[in-house]
A and B are shown apart, each in its own frame.
Chain A
């Protein structure tokens, strides 16, 4: 009885400010959620709306006079699928390679008694804080004669220093006793890494591979700088070119007599199609990235 009474006193003294703050929070976060979602919904609606509806600006957040001709046009008449293929290859192969290199570098450097550890770590820190510049990097890539190849698209993110340090710090935090007992049982370094250290580090490895995949998938600048042919262009380059070369699109639409396809519709369709892989992976992204935040903030 006494407890309830005290609770009541508290409720009365807090209720006004608590209610106001709570109400503001609900409304504001609702608005923020809409702010994130509505633009995406708008683009999706546009990509499935008729040309007339798109150009008159009457499409809001639901398709008007739904059609699939815009999607069909993008898939059949533009190099979209080829660009998607390039992006998938670069992201898939690149992420696997980067993870192998990152783990292979982080593991030796995480061992306190590794000979030369300080020197190697210093090399990574120096190259992390001092950047040679865009022009010299481009000259290196040209010298290697890998312009317009997949290698040039993977090279810039081959190993991302920050990711390597996150993995290294995580390895350092693992209990030493497990590794020690495996060593006494005669396990080699490689064996310990593959069957003990990596399985114990699943969360951080998942997070870092996600970071790499996002890096590869989203990169526009390097892809634009290091590719020259249409055959090699990645999705981001293709989308950028589509938005910025509407004139050629108009001509092609007129020549091909696509009356129900509009420029703005095509741009929307291209954006929507390229979002599919991200949306498909979002549950994983969410699980590992949010976890990764705490990993990133714990590192010391």
Chain B
């Protein structure tokens, strides 16, 4: 590269042979800058990878001078904890719950923002459009605890919804402890928090579509529906595919904090997912080895899904997640 530059621009003198040491001397600051981040990687990302061996040991937190040291001092037990995990009915339950809850979320919530973005784009009144566009994604910035607080206010025993039901002569519904409605509550609150934000993402993609396409279609006599079907949707297709791939790729990761905040012992049967179970067993009940084993299972499947999603992304859209 440097030789080519030198040849093309004879005025610039070719540099002296430039070795690694010289490079390091000139740019040591660049390496110094990397140190804090790398320190974090080693401590909080790679050291826990060593901690995975807890899954293959009878781990006792007090076996060593500190919890990490204790890992080395605990005895190996092979796949004992995995046998325990895979033969328990809980494992099947939390796996199914994870798939069912996230499946519902994708099924019911994925199409809504696409439709909303198309509708929002049809609104010609600038003030109205701006108001809607600003208001709908306010909830996206609320924490799950705040969303929980708001919905507790709305759906609690003496909340506005139950007061209305009671006034109309219906029975009050305990939304937070009824196993029949709890998954619906999870899907609905997820929608409340995320639909507006996703709408804005799709809207950004719609505004990037070349407006001359619509003009041409109009001249050809295409109606509104036809324009949406033949121009807007194809224009949105890459974004839709990307979002769907990401959703599927991160299916094991999402929803954890929401469920952790919303659920309680009465709805464990329908709401306990892999991550909440890892947390409750692994830290809550101090069954560290089982928690780590299930966490490892989760990480391996998540890894396959995410790398798979990225491969599909690269193939279909020529774009990488990272």
> Contact residues of A with B, CB < 8 Å?
10, 13-14, 17-18, 21-22, 24-26, 28-30, 32-33, 35-37, 39-40, 42-43, 46, 55-60, 100-102, 104-105, 107-109, 111, 114-115, 120, 123-125, 127-140, 142-145, 155-156, 158-159, 161-162, 164-165, 188-190, 214, 217-221, 225, 236, 239-240, 243, 264, 267-268, 270-271, 274-275, 278, 282, 285-286, 290, 293-294, 297, 299-300
Contact = CB atoms under 8 A, between A and B. Distances in A.
A43 B150 contact: yes
B77 to A, nearest CB: 16
Nearest to A121: B322
B162 interface: yes
B299 A130 contact: yes
A130 B119 contact: no
A28 B142 CA distance: 23
Given A139-B54, A286-B134, A29 B116 contact: yes
Given A36-B138, A42-B154, A104-B34, A219 B143 contact: yes
B153 A137 contact: no
Given A43-B150, A101-B37, A275-B146, A57 B221 contact: no
A110 to B, nearest CB: 10
B153 A42 contact: yes
A109 B34 CA distance: 9
Contacts of B282: 133-135, 138
B67 A278 contact: no
A144 B39 CA distance: 13
A134 B278 contact: yes
- Looking at A60, A139, A158, the one whose CB has the most chain B CB atoms below 10 A away is A139
Contact of B201 (A57, A123, A285, A293): A293
A57 B45 contact: no
A120 to B, nearest CB: 6
A166 to B, nearest CB: 10
A274 B319 CA distance: 39
A158 B40 contact: yes
A228 to B, nearest CB: 12
4 nearest A-B residue pairs (beta carbon): A136-B51, A132-B48, A133-B295, A57-B163
B257 A124 contact: no
Interface stretch (B89-97, B100-108, B178-186, B301-309): B301-309
Contacts of A128: 322
Given A127-B45, A132-B299, 14 more contacts: A17-B224, A25-B122, A29-B116, A39-B153, A39-B154, A59-B160, A104-B37, A105-B37, A133-B278, A136-B48, A220-B143, A225-B279, A243-B152, A282-B138
16 contacts: A13-B221, A14-B223, A14-B224, A29-B119, A30-B132, A33-B132, A39-B192, A101-B37, A115-B23, A133-B295, A139-B51, A156-B44, A189-B29, A267-B153, A271-B150, A290-B204
Interface of B: 20, 23-24, 27, 29-31, 33-34, 36-38, 40-41, 43-52, 54, 61, 66-69, 71, 116, 119-120, 122-125, 128-129, 131-132, 134-139, 141-146, 148-154, 156, 158-160, 162-163, 166, 192, 195-196, 200-201, 204-205, 218, 221, 223-225, 228, 239, 242, 256-257, 260-261, 275, 278-279, 282-283, 288, 291-292, 295-296, 298-299, 302-303, 306-307, 318-320, 322
A155 to B, nearest CB: 6
B257 to A, nearest CB: 5
A221 B260 contact: yes
Contacts of A134: 275, 278-279, 282-283, 291, 295
B153 A271 contact: yes
Contacts of B48: 131-133, 136-137, 139-140
Nearest to A60: B160
B145 A236 contact: yes
A164 B154 CA distance: 39
A96 to B, nearest CB: 13
B134 A130 contact: no
B52 A133 contact: yes
Given A17-B225, A133-B296, A220-B144, A140 B68 contact: yes
A194 to B, nearest CB: 11
B2 to A, nearest CB: 10
A43 B153 contact: yes
B162 to A, nearest CB: 7
Contact of B145 (A29, A43, A240): A240
Given A108-B31, A139-B68, A220-B144, A297 B299 contact: no
B162 A239 contact: no
Nearest to B158: A57
Contacts of B292: 133, 135-136
Contact of A130 (B50, B256, B303): B303
Given A101-B37, A143-B66, A135 B278 contact: yes
